[in-house]
Amino acid sequence: EGMTIVELAKRTGESLSSLQDILLNVGEKVESEFDPLSIDIAELVAMELGVNVRRRHSDEGAKLLARPPVVTVMGHVDHGKTSLLDALRQTSLVEKEAGGITQHLGAFVVSMPSGSSITFLDTPGHAAFSAMRARGAAVTDIVVLVVAADDGVMPQTQEAMSHATLAKVPVVVAINKCDKPAADPEQVKLQLASEGLLLEEMGGDVQVVEVSAVKKTGLDRLEEALLLQAELMDLKARIDGPAQAYVVEARLDRGRGPLATAIVKAGTLVCGQYVVVGSEWGRIRALRDMVGKMTDRATPAMPIEIEGLKGLPMAGDDIVVVDSEERARMLSTGRTRKSEKDRLRKISEGRTEAEESSEEQEVVERVEMPIIVKADVQGTVQAVTDALKSLNSPQVFVNIVHVGVGPVSQSDIDLARACGACIVGFNVKNPPSSVTQAATRASIQIKTHRVIYHLLEDMGSLIVHKAPGTA
């Protein structure tokens, strides 16, 4: 915890007097260089210095209790990730309690008769997984690798395996579609083994379960395999003390404002607390569990919906609890400024990269296509971003300069103007007329779509326009 200014100077290589100046700037009066600084203040100072900081929570001496595993489903497109999640969701108590009407909240819990439970992240796919990892959120404990029994190992199966390996997350294989006549699970196992996966039945430790998401067979065995894996990992978390949590999904509700689904990693999140979430902040006005029931606290691995944030956070953002509104505001401002700086740097670096690559390619000049993506929910943002990147070619470099959730706003226009970007609004409300007018004045194109295919068609023709050589 608390570090003194002297220690901070040692760690950052800054002089005492410049640190004191920074502290004064962030509104912290320093009585003595040997007074411990709070972790919030240390983070603020580090941000001012442009140093990347990550809070490390010490659980030393804390009482640790077993916690449920958090599971992500990955695999090749059409191998049945969504169907499997749907089938698993139907085995959950939540589904029964809610009479089948559950909202998509980004996560759900399956409670087993034995009393144990499993938390599933509800956005299948690699994009969500890597986006979270990129923000440092190690939320997933176990990956369910879905492989269709009639199709076998495909490129995205391999990709999912590398994601899991890189993240050091163990895999449980679900061979899906075993109901199909063409299903050949044994063949799939051989393929997986030749990819280097050490399957249990071949003497390794990767469990394999044969399932059918459509016929709903093998689901209980899959759940048992996940619990066994969790047991082997001896997953534990601190229950007492301030929460450390991550956002898995965020959306804007007309009546209730920004809502974030979060999963607590450690500690207990309590209604009424001040939190900083990524670069947003707020005071928790309400906590709801997966059936929408109000609760006053959330413990590890429990997905929870948070109401009361001032703005929309991003999937993978960390949630930290702070003492006061003032602290929350200060940290939020500091983080916003820092991420703005980082982003501008990235844009300028992206430019140089594009310039360099066009220098290298003498024959074809690569046209850069800066794009800002806005969509209704985080998952869609990711899907749209991935789809747009598929337009990349030797002639065209799709540069996604900024993404966000919600309608196109004035700040999007400002950014678009700064870097010559076009704005894509996917499944979002039309921007207010002041924004559209500002876009027209600055000759910025806003493309709004509700169907990915149409968006790609539209962008494709725009690209052909920009790069005459590509038609």
Q: Is 179 in the site for ligand GDP (CB under 6 A)?
A: yes
- Residue 145 φ/ψ, nearest 5 degrees: -95, 110
In whole angstroms, what separates CA 92 from the centre of its chain? Answer: 24
Of 71-79, 221-229, 268-276, 356-364, the segment contacting ligand GDP by CB under 6 A is 71-79
Q: Is 157 in the site for ligand GDP (CB under 6 A)?
A: no
Of 92-100, 171-179, 292-300, 313-321, the segment contacting ligand GDP by CB under 6 A is 171-179
Q: Is 83 in the site for ligand GDP (CB under 6 A)?
A: yes
Q: Is 88 in the site for ligand GDP (CB under 6 A)?
A: no
**Is the alpha carbon torsion for 447, 452, 454, 458 positive or negative?**
positive
Which of 82, 111, 116, 295 contacts ligand GDP by CB under 6 A? 82
DSSP per-residue codes, 301-347:
T-EEEEEEESS---TT-EEEEES-HHHHHHHHHHHHHHHHHHHHHHH
Q: Is 89 in the site for ligand GDP (CB under 6 A)?
A: no
Residue 43: count other Cβ atoms within 10 Å of its Cβ: 22
140 vs 156 by CB, closer to ligand GDP:
156
Q: How far is the CB of 176 from ligand GDP (least distance, A)?
A: 5
Query: How far, in Å, CA of 427 to CA of 174, rounded?
Result: 33
Q: Is 91 in the site for ligand GDP (CB under 6 A)?
A: no
Which of 212, 380, 399, 448 contacts ligand GDP by CB under 6 A? 212
248 vs 322 by CB, closer to ligand GDP:
248
CB 192 within 8 A of CB 199: yes
Q: Is 214 in the site for ligand GDP (CB under 6 A)?
A: yes
Tokens of 263: 């999963």
Which of 5, 172, 208, 213 contacts ligand GDP by CB under 6 A? 213
Q: Where are the alpha helices (DSSP H) in 38-184?
A: 39-48, 81-90, 93-97, 126-134, 155-166
Q: Is 176 in the site for ligand GDP (CB under 6 A)?
A: yes
Of 166-174, 209-217, 235-243, 352-360, the segment contacting ligand GDP by CB under 6 A is 209-217
Of 63-71, 74-82, 277-285, 377-385, the segment contacting ligand GDP by CB under 6 A is 74-82
- Residue 346 φ/ψ, nearest 5 degrees: -60, -45
Which of 40, 45, 70, 81 contacts ligand GDP by CB under 6 A? 81
Query: How far, in Å, CA of 92 to CA of 51, rounded?
Result: 44
Q: Is 24 in the site for ligand GDP (CB under 6 A)?
A: no
177 vs 338 by CB, closer to ligand GDP:
177
Q: How far is the CB of 452 from ligand GDP (least distance, A)?
A: 14
- What's the burial of 459, exposed, middle or buried (CB within 10 Å: 0-12/13-18/19+)? buried
Which of 77, 228, 233, 451 contacts ligand GDP by CB under 6 A? 77
Q: How far is the CB of 175 from ligand GDP (least distance, A)?
A: 10
Interacting residues of 112 by C-beta distance below 8 A, sequence separation 6+: 118, 223, 227
129 vs 246 by CB, closer to ligand GDP:
129
Which of 180, 256, 310, 466 contacts ligand GDP by CB under 6 A? 180
382 vs 395 by CB, closer to ligand GDP:
382
Which of 80, 267, 379, 431 contacts ligand GDP by CB under 6 A? 80
* CB < 8 Å & 24+ apart, contacts of 460-466: 460/391, 462/422, 463/367, 463/369, 463/391, 463/396, 466/367, 466/369, 466/396
> Looking at the DSSP assignment, which residues form a beta bridge with residue 36?
4
Q: Is 383 in the site for ligand GDP (CB under 6 A)?
A: no
Of 59-67, 72-80, 186-194, 388-396, the segment contacting ligand GDP by CB under 6 A is 72-80
Query: How far, in Å, CA of 289 to CA of 391, rounded?
Result: 40
**Is the alpha carbon torsion for 17, 19, 23, 25 positive or negative?**
positive
Q: Is 369 in the site for ligand GDP (CB under 6 A)?
A: no
Which residue do the tokens 């065995």 mark? 221
Distances in Å between the Cα of 342 and the Cα atoms of 345, 348, 401 are: 5, 10, 12
The residue ranges that bind ligand GDP (CB under 6 A) are 75, 77-83, 124, 176-177, 179-180, 212-214
